[in-house]
């Protein structure tokens, strides 16, 4: 087992699915994988009739994704979608969860995006990971320095990502997306797949033929060169590269 405990920071209910293969693989190896989801995803409704139901729908879909990927626990801050802010209350709440979970590796979203919640989620996560390791806010629990921090989503192309081998888990991405039925309109727009039947066919094909067996990450220190971040040399995840 590479890690005992890891944390994945996500703005929305389905963001962590981008690293579905890695999550499922780590969970199978016995790693406790925890997701910290910051908003309720209440703006993710493609049709007006869904407006008042969407947060509840997505909460149920996130529970289903937990089961598919082996996520041990999902913390939900339930901030409103498109209104995530790096305020003091949110920062302290995230620091407390980090100190409680004591992750050996953390995964954050990245900064090369227009989505305000993804930008905020990255800022909150990185700052909270740093503060959680310092001699501050002792009422939140003993300090915990997370030794490895990765980016799993949007990064500038100037920094090369590295590949992680998720052979045998390539279908997990689609298996997890298939649980997010309220998002099928979005998935069709981005991937051309947007029905339960199409997802089932793709999952079967990947199980049979393999494929989609690599996921990409950046080491945060190589992207944000802050002294307080863990040095790049101490990261273990690249050893999985094929």
Binding site for Zn ion (CB under 5 A): 11-12, 15
> Least CB distance from residue 15 to Zn ion, whole Å?
4
> Least CB distance from residue 9 to Zn ion, whole Å?
11
Distance of alpha carbon 187 from alpha carbon 150, whole angstroms: 25
> Least CB distance from residue 44 to Zn ion, whole Å?
8
Of residues 112 and 143, the one with the C-beta less far from Zn ion: 112
Strand extents, DSSP E, the chain: 5-10, 32-39, 73-79, 105-110, 148-154, 162-165, 214-219
In terms of Cα–Cα distance, which of 43, 35, 42 is closest to 15?
35
Distance of alpha carbon 137 from alpha carbon 99, whole angstroms: 11
How many whole angstroms from its chain centre is CA 82? 17
Of residues 12 and 221, the one with the C-beta less far from Zn ion: 12
Cβ-closest position to Zn ion: 12
In terms of Cα–Cα distance, which of 137, 141, 128 is closest to 94?
128
> Least CB distance from residue 118 to Zn ion, whole Å?
6
Of residues 22 and 121, the one with the C-beta less far from Zn ion: 121
Of residues 11 and 108, the one with the C-beta less far from Zn ion: 11
Angle at 65 between CA 236 and CA 169, to 5 degrees: 50
> Least CB distance from residue 201 to Zn ion, whole Å?
26
**Pairing of β 214-219 and β 148-154:** antiparallel
**Pairing of β 73-79 and β 214-219:** unpaired
Of residues 178 and 229, the one with the C-beta less far from Zn ion: 178
């Amino acid at each position: 087992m590479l890690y005992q405990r890891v944390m994945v920071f996500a703005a929305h209910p389905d963001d962590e699915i981008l690293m579905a293969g890695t999550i499922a693989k780590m969970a199978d190896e016995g790693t406790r994988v925890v997701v910290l989801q910051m908003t309720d995803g209440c703006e993710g409704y493609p049709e007006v009739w869904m407006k008042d139901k969407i947060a509840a729908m997505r909460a149920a879909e996130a529970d289903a994704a937990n089961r598919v990927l082996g996520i041990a626990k999902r913390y939900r801050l339930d901030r409103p979608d498109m209104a995530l802010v790096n305020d003091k209350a949110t920062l302290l709440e995230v620091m407390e969860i980090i100190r409680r979970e004591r992750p050996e590796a953390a995964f954050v979203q990245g900064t090369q995006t227009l989505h305000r919640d993804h930008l905020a989620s990255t800022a909150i996560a990185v700052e909270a990971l740093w503060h959680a390791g310092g001699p501050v806010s002792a009422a939140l629990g003993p300090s915990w320095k997370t030794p490895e921090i990765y980016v799993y989503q949007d990064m500038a192309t100037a920094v090369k990502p590295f590949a992680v081998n998720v052979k045998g888990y390539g279908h997990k991405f689609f298996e997890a997306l298939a649980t997010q039925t309220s998002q099928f309109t979005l998935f069709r727009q981005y991937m051309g797949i947007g029905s339960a039947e199409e997802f089932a066919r793709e999952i079967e094909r990947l199980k049979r033929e393999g494929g989609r067996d690599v996921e990409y990450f950046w080491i945060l220190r190589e992207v944000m060169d802050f002294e307080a971040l863990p040095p790049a040399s101490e990261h273990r995840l690249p050893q999985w590269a094929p």
